[in-house]
Amino acid sequence: MEQQVDVFVCHASEDKNSFVRPLAEGLRRLGVTVWYDEFSLQLGESISRQIDRGIANARFGIVVISVHFIGKHWAEHELRGLVNRDIEEDLRILPIWHGVSKQQVLAFSPSLSDKVAIDTQMDNAQEAALKILRTVRPDLYEQSPRAELERQASGEAIANLQSEIEDLRAQISEFQCPICNAPLSTRLDAPVDQEQKHWDIVEAYECGHRHFAGNTLYPCPNDPKFPTWEDYEIACEPANDKSAQQWQCTAWPQTEMARKVNLEVSYGRTEEEAREKLRKTLLYRAGLIGNAEWFRSQAF
């Protein structure tokens, strides 16, 4: 069974920008279920069949009568369906005069000219939406003060909510890593100089990023400047002890960022093994492999 909607909007496409789209969007923001082609037509289905279903399942039919509407083939088709339901069933037609006179409406449809109508020369889309809401959904109209309904219909309420969300994001960002948004884990006051005359804040984040007094102590793994294998000079030599770990490899940083990510000396039974352990440690620091893979790579 098709879902019933509150209103079906019958209009000419030329009137979308000037009135119909703002009206339909205003009604939706107010909680009215709306059949409107830009919201409701489904790709691949017959347009006329979808329109007929929309008319059949609407409780009210909004007809936006304009000079563009009068004489339109599709508009006449929709209007006939609405009028038939208005006569035979319980659907009510709500006419809107959009830039037309009573004489023009009378000449086009005597039955429509006799109905109380909204005139866009006196009411804009927002005001028209409120009047329609009072008729089609009195329950919603009575729930909120008119001022609040006007804010909803105009979109001001949504704009205010978006502004509040942006303000909240700005406040939250103070407690997030500036690179990856990881949560702040530690914030401490610390002296900048040995005499402890000047102090600043050390901040550490769950991603590992740390900074102090405007300087990076340890970079975020997601920082594009995080050091790579090429930022180190790898020196390997036979180990000094007589254990099974016969080789040791040391990573000598060659860039400023690499000097902030110190890699411990790695040991292996062969030079290749020791070098690979060192490389895996850097990948682990960069967040490119997990704990389990790193532990396996370091096993003797």
In a domain, 244, yes or no: yes
DSSP labels for 44-70? TS-HHHHHHHHHHTEEEEEEEE-TTTT
In a domain, 283, yes or no: yes
Structure tokens at 146: 């008119």
In a domain, 251, yes or no: yes
As a whole number of angstroms, the distance between CA 133 and CA 141 comes to 6
CB-CB neighbours of 86 under 10 Å: 17
Least confident interval from 55-64, 167-176, 193-202, 287-296: 167-176
Q: What is the average per-residue pLDDT within 27-56?
A: 75
| pLDDT category of residue 55 using cuts at 50, 70 and 90 | confident
Same domain, 133 and 46: yes
Total structural domains in the chain? 2
The residue with greater pLDDT, 129 or 84, is: 129
CA 113 from centre of chain: 44
State the Cα angle at 65 between 62 and 68, rounded to 5°.
Answer: 130
For residue 151, give its domain range. Answer: 5-155
State pLDDT tens for residues 104-142.
Answer: 989 888 888 888 899 999 988 988 998 899 899 988 888
State pLDDT tens for residues 144-190.
Answer: 777 676 666 666 666 666 777 777 777 777 788 989 989 888 888 88
Closest to 205 measured CA to CA, from 190, 187, 226, 225: 187
Among 123, 155, 187, the domain-final residue is: 155
Looking at residue 179, the DSSP 8-state letter turns out to be T
As a whole number of angstroms, the distance between CA 70 and CA 85 comes to 20
Same domain, 17 and 148: yes
Among 140, 155, 170, the domain-final residue is: 155
In a domain, 206, yes or no: no
In a domain, 23, yes or no: yes
Same domain, 267 and 136: no
Assess whether pLDDT exceeds 70 at residue 58. yes
Among 126, 155, 184, the domain-final residue is: 155
Q: What is the average per-residue pLDDT within 9-25?
A: 89
Same domain, 38 and 146: yes
Assess whether pLDDT exceeds 60 at residue 1. no
The three-class DSSP label of residue 151 is helix
In a domain, 58, yes or no: yes
The pLDDT value recorded for residue 255 is 94
The pLDDT value recorded for residue 141 is 82
Closest to 11 measured CA to CA, from 47, 27, 45, 19: 19
Same domain, 234 and 127: no
In a domain, 196, yes or no: no
**CATH assignment at residue 72:** 3.40.50.10140
| pLDDT category of residue 11 using cuts at 50, 70 and 90 | confident
Assess whether pLDDT exceeds 80 at residue 85. no
In a domain, 13, yes or no: yes
Q: What share of the chain has pLDDT > 70, as a percent? A: 86
Q: Give helix 125-136 / helix 21-29 axis angle, nearest 10°.
A: 50
Q: State the catalytic residues.
A: 78
In the block, tokens 């009137």 appear at: 15
Same domain, 233 and 151: no
